[in-house]
Chain A
């Protein structure tokens, strides 16, 4: 038992409630938000260590035994995702201080950010399928608020599409939960995994797995389901887009990893060729979409789609090696993509537009910003010594080892195309001569520069110290793929069915 798993959840709830109460006192609210996110970060860093040292951490809500109550489980993958999520939220909050109008702070921006992190943390930690649905709704409701806060026409239009298409995904998820309960009679993930091994009709589980692929895929923005993303992500303020890019689609990817990698491993093996096909199509379509765009944030939004293809590739390889590589890549891309949104957003704020044709000459005027942008794009494209190189290297190694040549080839090609597409922003915004007089433009403030720069430095550090990260993600990938170990951690050595049978007698 490890009841400390509820700490980050409860602390964020308290933080959000206090931030609502003190919403009018600007500095008090800021202090509360930074305090609770900082606590979350410290906790998740400690959790990284605890999991590495003592293995999976499990706690049962209300003291109910495992298949009956709601279980919280933290393994390596959970700890990595929690740590990255809280780091990104902290940076976003700092960026918001410098970039947002007072109106946002007055109208409950900070409580919504905390609730978003709350939903994300719950989704990472829960060991119960229906509970995962509830956490998804928590984070989606917070994101609905964040994407429409401000109420401009573009936000309302983009927000409506975002809300409706995400609701469709949620409904599919709910259908999947209902069907799983109908077929195996339980919702605890460990218990589902155990009962699926002895199931009479394997075909129906494949059908249910496809529903989950649809549900999580629409959250993660995989190929035919990504349309809500590029149409809505450039409408809210930059800080909101940045935190969305870091957290939201990655929760979908994490849920795919958890549900397919741990719970429905047989179905993962069935569906692996299809998942790999989706992966390389998503990579290509995302990067081609990005090439056609002329707006900084829309280019970056399409790149989110493209990068999700890599995360899904890690899943489609259907091995602990692939999952470990996918986790490594996902953690890296969360950090780098958010930093690029911060830096691109700072450039956008200077020019007052995100249209790259109307920008230019920034490398001479803001050389520091330009340096960090350049480091960011080579990390995203996957060049050494940045973390992106090791993320892609791990995925390509796993792909080659398992003979998945097509997806590996497309992944390599997509890396080159990503570099090409990001260099377009570099050329237009930073390198080319500006036609207008840029000497009158405002200078970038330290508050806008620092969060993005810090994340780029972290990406560099993760690249230079890659062995630590690679070791940790291979531990996490092993834990994620270790279904028997998961069941034993949650329900004890005899498994969930034994607990269940003993209790209903």
Chain B
């Protein structure tokens, strides 16, 4: 398991970067989605019980009980999921409206605000 997690995170990031570098708005959106999943998994990998984040309930001598883990990373991920969900929904609506206004899916055509 511990080797699969970094592979999953790396694949998500690689796929996200690939999609972000494409010209299509839809692929941009999908890339951002993958990126946020990658980050969530990255945070998840930071919280395993071997590290310094300690579960809230420990044995009397301070050692970690079996079957418990650090809950804080899961709380962080939950917050991050909610926030990225809201923002991605906003981006989707914005991309739709931009698509209606500019009448193209190609980011290279959206250059009116870049001209001198």
Task: Identify the A interface with B (CB < 8 A).
Answer: 130, 134, 137, 140-141, 144, 148, 151-154, 156-161, 163-164, 167, 170-171, 174-175, 177-179, 181-182, 184-187, 231-232, 234-235, 292-294, 504-505
Known: A157-B98, A181-B73, A231-B113. A163 touches B91 (CB 8 A): yes
B94-A505 in contact (CB<8A)? no
Known: A156-B101, A187-B72. 6 other contacts (CB 8 A): A151-B101, A156-B97, A160-B91, A160-B110, A171-B36, A186-B52
A181-B79 in contact (CB<8A)? no
B58 to chain A, nearest CB (A): 7
Measured between alpha carbons, how far is A494 from B102 in the docked complex, in Å? 60
B31 to A, closest residue via Cβ: A164
B94-A293 in contact (CB<8A)? no
Does any Cβ of A come within 8 Å of B42's Cβ? Answer: yes
B54-A141 in contact (CB<8A)? no
A156-B102 in contact (CB<8A)? yes
A295 to B, closest residue via Cβ: B116
B90-A141 in contact (CB<8A)? yes
B76 to chain A, nearest CB (A): 6
Chain A residues near B114: list those with CB within 8 A.
231
Q: Which residue in A153, A177, A186, A292 is a CB contact (below 8 Å) of B76?
A: A177
B94-A159 in contact (CB<8A)? yes
Measured between alpha carbons, how far is A278 from B73 in the docked complex, in Å? 34
Q: Which residue in B32, B39, B90, B91 is a CB contact (below 8 Å) of A178?
A: B39
Chain A residues near B54: list those with CB within 8 A.
185, 504
A68 to B, closest residue via Cβ: B56
B90-A181 in contact (CB<8A)? no
Chain B residues near A504: list those with CB within 8 A.
54, 58, 62
A184-B52 in contact (CB<8A)? yes
A164-B91 in contact (CB<8A)? yes
B54 to chain A, nearest CB (A): 6
Does any Cβ of A come within 8 Å of B8's Cβ? Answer: no
Measured between alpha carbons, how far is A137 from B90 in the docked complex, in Å? 13
B116-A232 in contact (CB<8A)? no
Chain A residues near B66: list those with CB within 8 A.
none
Q: Is the interface of B mostly helix, strand, loop or mixed?
A: helix
Chain A residues near B83: list those with CB within 8 A.
134, 137
Max chain A C-beta neighbours (<10 A), residue from B45, B73, B97? B97
Could you show 25 A-B contacts with beta carbons less than 8 Å apart?
A134-B79, A134-B83, A137-B87, A140-B87, A152-B101, A153-B102, A153-B112, A156-B98, A157-B111, A158-B113, A159-B94, A160-B91, A161-B113, A163-B90, A164-B91, A170-B87, A171-B39, A178-B73, A178-B76, A179-B42, A181-B46, A181-B73, A182-B47, A185-B52, A504-B54
Measured between alpha carbons, how far is A134 from B32 in the docked complex, in Å? 18
A158 to B, closest residue via Cβ: B113
B109 to A, closest residue via Cβ: A157
A181-B35 in contact (CB<8A)? no
Does any Cβ of A come within 8 Å of B67's Cβ? Answer: no
A177-B28 in contact (CB<8A)? no
B76-A160 in contact (CB<8A)? no
Does any Cβ of A come within 8 Å of B14's Cβ? Answer: no
Q: Which residue in A140, A174, A185 is a CB contact (below 8 Å) of B51?
A: A185
Residues of chain B in range 16-53 having any CB-CB distance to chain A below 8 Å: 25, 28, 32, 35-36, 39, 42-43, 45-47, 51-53
B91-A177 in contact (CB<8A)? no
A160-B94 in contact (CB<8A)? yes
